[in-house]
Amino acid sequence: MLLPRDVNPDLSIYYNGSLILQQLIKQDNVGIINLYKSVKSESGMSLSTYMLSLDWLFLSDIAVVTESGEVKLCS
């Protein structure tokens, strides 16, 4: 759900995508699992929310996952 109406905004894909972006700005070209560990330690994000948010960032051409499994920001 991108913009929930009756749900806590902290559960939205936009908000969680911003948390992932904050971590990517700190450390670009990070492994997908290591990025999840960083985000989870900061916010407690679930794996399913992480994957949905990462998919949204990919579809929006904001971030890309390389063949080696690293996540990096698009230029």
Domains and CATH numbers, the chain: 9-73 (1.10.10)
What token pair was written down for 34? 């290591």
Q: Is the pLDDT higher at 75 or at 16?
A: 16
Is residue 4's pLDDT more than 70? no
Helices H, strands E: what count in the chain?
Answer: 3, 3
For the chain, the distance separating the N- and C-terminal CA atoms, rounded to the nearest angstrom, is: 27
Indicate the pTM of the whole model.
Answer: 0.86
Q: Is 35 exposed, middle or buried (0-12, 13-18, 19+ CB in 10 A)?
A: buried
Cα separation of 43 and 24, whole Å?
Answer: 14
